[in-house]
Structure 1
Amino acid sequence: MTKTALITGSTSGIGLAIAKNFAAKGYQIIFNGLEPDGDKIAGNIAQQFGIKHHFSPCNLLYPDQIEKMVKETLDKFSHVDVLINNAGIQFVSPVQDFPLEKWNAIININLTAAFIVTKALWPAMQQNKFGRIINISSAHGLVASEFKSAYVASKHGLIGFTKTIALEGAPYNITANAICPGYVHTPIVENQINDQMKVHNMTREEVIEKIMLSKQAIKEFIPVETIALTAAFLATEEAACITGTSIPVEGGWLAQ
């Protein structure tokens, strides 16, 4: 049976790279994203690789939209084998100035949405006795940096959630793992560069060199394709014994 993957935030950045990798392997893909041309992006990939697909413009801030996305998915494909909770947002500010609405949005999209999608798909995965849940956390799910209170909290929380569902899923051949990327040059990081320039009063080049890549021993951004390859392996039958863990892909950041 052809396998199906639902990937949140899959019309740009890391999610798009994962979608392309899985499409090349013949997966049916449920794309999700807020890009104005998201439907076209998804359609082009589906046509390129000859796969069935569905695109949902679901805004993960809103539980009712998430539930609609899941219902549409199950109505069309009847099952989801792989869930990749990838969507995320970022905001940089000292804690005393951090807007509550930004905190709530980051927690809701980065953490709560992953819970809601997982909960909705869980019964079908249990029934099918197969599931691969891959949560895209961050190196900031394992360590912290200043001015990122909400993001760091959300990514640490996502790892805790991953461990919990790994234990609950084990009797049903459902695995759950977190991938923890370092700095990957994606739209979210591009926006972060601009925020960091303001907070630190630095140039773009200084932020990249002194704030971001200084933490990564290889002194380079992590390619999105590397994250996609990691996710692709975790989705396989052969990865059944890997569950409840966090896999850093961060260029040597955590070795320091």
Structure 2
Amino acid sequence: MDIDLSGRTALVTGSTQGIGHAIAIGLAQAGAEVVVNGRDAARVAAAVGRVRESAPGAAVRGIPADVADDEGAAGLLASLPEVDVLVNNLGIFGAQPALEIDDAEWRRYFEVNVLAGVRLTRAYLPGMMERGFGRVLSISSDSAVVTPLEMIHYGVTKTAQLAVTRGFAKVAAGTGVTVNSVLAGPTHTGGVEALVAEMVGEDVEWDEAQRRFMRESRPQSLLQRLIEPSEIANMVVYLSSDLASATTGGALRVDGGYVDAILP
């Protein structure tokens, strides 16, 4: 399958590390002009350098901005008024007992995990529709479907993300623009390593900690291992291409079979 994103500009929010960084690399390797985003200018610059190393000759630049903030998002939009591919990857998660999550924390999770993507989609979707091409992708989670006891606030925001995606796909109906979510399963990132250490114990060797985490906390996984970020990126690159023109309004699973259902 030949995926060529030459001539397309892609913005990946929260792409200085983890899944977002792997997506930026994958899009650049497929020929897209990639815009790396994060809050810290130094980390953005370092991430741009790593993408360029992984995709020699690719057009890559960085825009430091906190897109979960009105002012930060406005600054990014001023620097980048149009994109062909928007990947709403920015997200936060963390274990916390449900009865200890206060209103401020609930609001923070909605601002970052839901409203940041809504804000950028609202800004970029009209231009995509006018041009007759566009891809909006939100990186969701198996937690959207299987609410995790240890972080229900995270799960609820990811559920909301699915509804937002379906709604915006209806807005773009018949325009050549597709809007989809990607449900990532338990993925091997720095943040997940920290979560595993918190749940299993920091003194446990990583391979054993990962096995114990999957066995005890994610036993439904058919893959029986953490997913690598590049495996999520592969789905995103495909959905960003012309080849995925008939896929819209969907929640595509890259969850290692974690969600025990035929449909999300």
TM-score normalised by structure 2 residue count: 0.87
Give 1:38's aligned residue: 44
What is the distance in 2 between the residues matched to 1:14 and 1:94? 26
Give 2:7's aligned residue: 2
2:103 counterpart letter in structure 1: L
Give 1:255's aligned residue: 260
- What is the CA-CA distance between 1:202 and the residue it aligns to? 10
1:57 aligns with 2:64: yes
The range that moved more, 208-217 or 225-234, is 208-217
Unaligned segments of structure 1, at least 5 residues: none
- What is the CA-CA distance between 1:244 and the residue it aligns to? 0.6
What is the distance in 1 between the residues matched to 2:214 and 2:176? 43
Give 2:102's aligned residue: 99
Give 1:237's aligned residue: 242
Cα distance change of structure 1 residues 184 and 246 upon mapping to structure 2, 3 Å threshold:
same
- What is the CA-CA distance between 1:224 and the residue it aligns to? 1.1
Question: What is the SS of the residue equivalent to 2:36?
Answer: strand
Give 1:24's aligned residue: 29
Unaligned segments of structure 2, at least 5 residues: 1-5
- What is the CA-CA distance between 1:190 and the residue it aligns to? 2.1
Which residue among 117, 121, 134 is the counterpart of 1:118? 121
What is the distance in 2 between the residues matched to 1:114 and 1:219? 31
Give 1:83's aligned residue: 86
Does structure 2 conserve the Cα–Cα contact (< 8 Å) formed by 1:183 and 1:212? no
Indicate the RMSD between aligned Cα atoms, in angstroms.
2.2
Does structure 2 conserve the Cα–Cα contact (< 8 Å) formed by 1:7 and 1:84? yes
For each residue in 1:89-110, what CA deviation from the matched residue of structure 2 results, as whole angstroms up to 9, or x when unmatched? 0121122111333222211111
Does structure 2 conserve the Cα–Cα contact (< 8 Å) formed by 1:30 and 1:55? yes
TM-score normalised by structure 1 residue count: 0.90
Question: What is the SS of the residue equivalent to 1:214?
Answer: coil
What is the distance in 2 between the residues matched to 1:194 and 1:62? 30
Does structure 1 conserve the Cα–Cα contact (< 8 Å) formed by 2:45 and 2:62? yes
Cα distance change of structure 1 residues 191 and 104 upon mapping to structure 2, 3 Å threshold:
farther
Question: What is the SS of the residue equivalent to 2:138?
Answer: strand
Structure whose residues are more often helix by fraction = 1
**Percent of aligned pairs with the same amino acid:** 26
2:74 counterpart letter in structure 1: E
What is the distance in 1 between the residues matched to 2:71 and 2:153? 23
Question: What is the SS of the residue equivalent to 1:136?
Answer: strand
Give 1:193's aligned residue: 196
- What is the CA-CA distance between 1:213 and the residue it aligns to? 4.0
Does structure 2 conserve the Cα–Cα contact (< 8 Å) formed by 1:67 and 1:117? no
Which residue among 56, 62, 66 is the counterpart of 2:73? 66
The range that moved more, 38-47 or 227-236, is 38-47
1:158 aligns with 2:165: no
The range that moved more, 93-102 or 215-224, is 93-102
What is the total number of aligned residue pairs between the two structures?
Answer: 250
- What is the CA-CA distance between 1:120 and the residue it aligns to? 1.1
For each residue in 1:196-240, what CA deviation from the matched residue of structure 2 results, as whole angstroms up to 9, or x when unmatched? 348xx9967275244444231221111111111101111111211
Cα distance change of structure 1 residues 195 and 97 upon mapping to structure 2, 3 Å threshold:
farther
Cα distance change of structure 1 residues 104 and 197 upon mapping to structure 2, 3 Å threshold:
farther
What is the distance in 2 between the residues matched to 1:151 and 1:222? 19
Question: What is the SS of the residue equivalent to 2:80?
Answer: helix
Question: What is the SS of the residue equivalent to 1:172?
Answer: coil
